[in-house]
Chains A and B, each alone.
Chain A
Amino acid sequence: MEKKEFGTHISEMLNQNLEALFNHILAMGGMVERQMDNALQALGTSDVAKAKEIILFDKMINDAEMEIDRLCARVLARQQPTASDLRLILVAIRVAIDLERMGDEVVKLAKMVIAFDQINQVKCSDVEGYIELVDISNRSNQMLKGTLDAFARVSTDGASQIVAEEESIDRVFSNIMDQLKRSMQSQPDCFECLMEMIIALRAAERVSDHARNIVESIVYLVNGQDVRNMDEDRLQALLTKLQAEEG
């Protein structure tokens, strides 16, 4: 039983190209997932070697983005797809950009691990905000996996949970930011550590933002509706409706 998403064209070439593009995006997603997993491990054990490995692997993600762009341009030039195929290409470009940015954010997390190793007298797990950082990173990681699964299934199933999760991460983020601002004023000697922590927190939070962007791209792919500027309640209502239609 073959899924029919790419088997609908008379042109075998177009089918193959679109499927190759689809698989490339998910393979790139897999790379980002591994980076994120590694970052969490590096964060948990202050593993500098692992952090350096992450920085090294980021190059592969950048290459993957370029490869996806190349594939998109090729399909556009050779086959001039329309309707849902055209949407797939637009979405592919967008998702590739989001994934590449995520890769960059993960590198920031890795850099924080290295920075704390150099600061020496402070362990990063003792700095204020570490628990929140691990929490946000963990949740962003789960979100990333959820979005990529949804993309693989070309389904908006689970999209509303992901959007809700992103909102909740935003709240955690703004709370910890307020707390860190106060700490910075009260204990200026920790300035360097807190600065690093803020950059890392921001990076972890950005990962969840990009995951949400991918969800919005998936909605566009499935439904053709651009939901990027939609307010929360309407978006949730739309997602529940879509989910009901699919189920």
Chain B
Amino acid sequence: MSNGVSRELTWIVTSLWVALFLGWITEQWIWVLVGYLVFYITRQLFSMVRFEQWMRGSAKVPYPPTSGLWGELGYLVSYKQRLLQKHADMQLAKSEQFLAASMVVPDAIISIDGDHQIEWFNASAKKLFKLKQSDTGRKLETLLRHPDFIQYLKTFQPRKGLILTTLKGNSRAYQLRLFRYFEDHSLLIVKDIHELYSLAQIRRDFIANASHELRTPLTVLNGYIEVMQDSLTEMSLWTKPLKQMAQQSHRMRSIIDDLLTLSAMESETLTEKPQKVRIAEVLQMLQQDVAQMSQDNHQFVFNIDTNLVIKGYLEPLKSVLTNLVSNAVRYTPDGGKIEVNWYQDEKGAHFKVTDTGIGIASEHLSRLTERFYRVDTARSRDTGGTGLGLAIVKHVLERHQAKLYVSSQLGKGSTFRCDFPKSIVVSDLIKPS
């Protein structure tokens, strides 16, 4: 039997005994029984009212009724309430702990909702952005007003991230990244990357300065070697060494030139504006150069769309085309075939060079564009490469939002394809004169 009912029955039995005793004394059985019934009903109703008021949380009734069924119900309800409270406390402690954990993260974290209104932020964010506790609910872009950041917030490209060199008057480099979470909420994480950033800057400056400084002594050496070569009599002991010296110093010269090109490209600022580049014209000039380079040992096929013009930077693009085509010539044995394509499709403009050369093993493909990375050290040096060609290509393509795709089969040949996005293609129907 349920606890409540048994308690109620106990009460009824006890009170009935009292009523029966009263009836026995007074002998007014009917009145006593009627009185008992009225008393019982009144007590029930009174307990109900008390119970209801207690449930409502009225201040006048701090306790539930204590006896009978209602007492048991009151006990059960408060028991359940205690359990819930305990659970809620545990949840609260957990979320508090989580919040406290986010506070000690050294990166600044700000959470914003779908309308960019700030929801919460951690201690580092508070310090970095000089936020106040009352700033929750404000739009983030009203307090973090950097135009680049506003643009980033609008376009929302989480993978790219954003690097700012000054933030709220701090001249340090910060990396800002935005992540979407919890449906339309976003998390902004700001990391101080000043050390890394300035290291990269120092490296760039170093390469630029070092190559510049190296060029002058090399010019002097080169000059004297040439003079010595000219003034040497036939069949001298020094003919061969001097020839090699001339070759090597020439090679060094081209490495330094490539390094300078690369560092110039890395440090170029926004001030230079892209212009229309007629790739077809560049390729026509290139055609003669490579024919000379190959000395008619290769078969060339040029498929060029003469009407396809893109917006970009002429000199860097020239070096991309030259590098890719001369690489093909360099690594294709005599008698091979080289195909150069410049065409357009629905995705954008493409420049493709296919050769039947020695090919590249797949494990090297991902590292090809690294500086001075060589697939086969001995052979590349023989062919006169500087080891920087593809690094330059990659850089220039990045500036044009273009991508480089390489597919290759060892021994069969390789294909290098540059994909230029549609946005930089100029629809130019007038044929170049």
Contact = CB atoms under 8 A, between A and B. Distances in A.
B231 interface: no
Interface stretch (A19-27, A68-76, A223-231): A19-27
Interface in A111-165: 141-142, 145, 148-149, 152-153
Contacts of B311: none
B10 to A, nearest CB: 54
Contacts of A233: none
A2 B139 CA distance: 9
A237 interface: no
Contacts of B141: 23, 26-27, 30
A244 interface: no
A94 interface: no
Contacts of A30: 141, 145-147, 149-150
B43 interface: no
A34 interface: yes
Interface in A1-60: 1-3, 22-23, 26-27, 29-31, 33-34, 37, 40-41, 49-50, 52-53, 56, 60
B164 to A, nearest CB: 9
A41 B135 CA distance: 30
Nearest to B130: A149
Contacts of A152: 138, 142-143, 145
Nearest to B168: A145
Nearest to A151: B142
A3 B138 contact: yes
B171 A22 contact: no
Among B115, B165, B171, B271, the one with the most A-chain Cβ atoms within 10 Å of its Cβ is B271
A1 B118 CA distance: 9
B411 interface: no
Contacts of B146: 30, 33-34
A23 B139 contact: yes
A145 B149 CA distance: 16
B270 A3 contact: no
Interface string B168-205: 11010000000000000000000000000000000000
B117 interface: yes
Contact of B169 (A2, A22, A141): A141
B145 A37 contact: no
B142 A37 contact: no
Contacts of A34: 146-148, 166
A27 B169 contact: no
Given A29-B145, A41-B171, A142-B169, A2 B269 contact: no
Nearest to A138: B169
Most A-side CB within 10 Å, residue of B115, B149, B270: B270
B137 interface: yes
Contacts of B168: 145
A4 B250 CA distance: 72
A1 B137 contact: yes
A31 B138 CA distance: 20
Interface string B144-157: 01111110000000
B137 A2 contact: yes
What are the 10 tightest A-B residue pairs by CB atom distance, in nearest-first order?
Answer: A30-B145, A152-B142, A37-B166, A1-B137, A49-B269, A26-B142, A3-B137, A52-B271, A31-B147, A26-B145
Given A37-B166, A40-B171, A152-B138, 14 more contacts: A2-B137, A3-B137, A23-B139, A27-B147, A30-B145, A31-B147, A34-B146, A34-B148, A37-B169, A41-B165, A53-B270, A141-B169, A149-B143, A153-B135
18 contacts: A2-B115, A3-B117, A23-B141, A26-B141, A27-B147, A29-B145, A30-B141, A30-B147, A34-B146, A34-B148, A37-B171, A49-B271, A53-B271, A142-B169, A149-B143, A152-B138, A152-B142, A153-B134
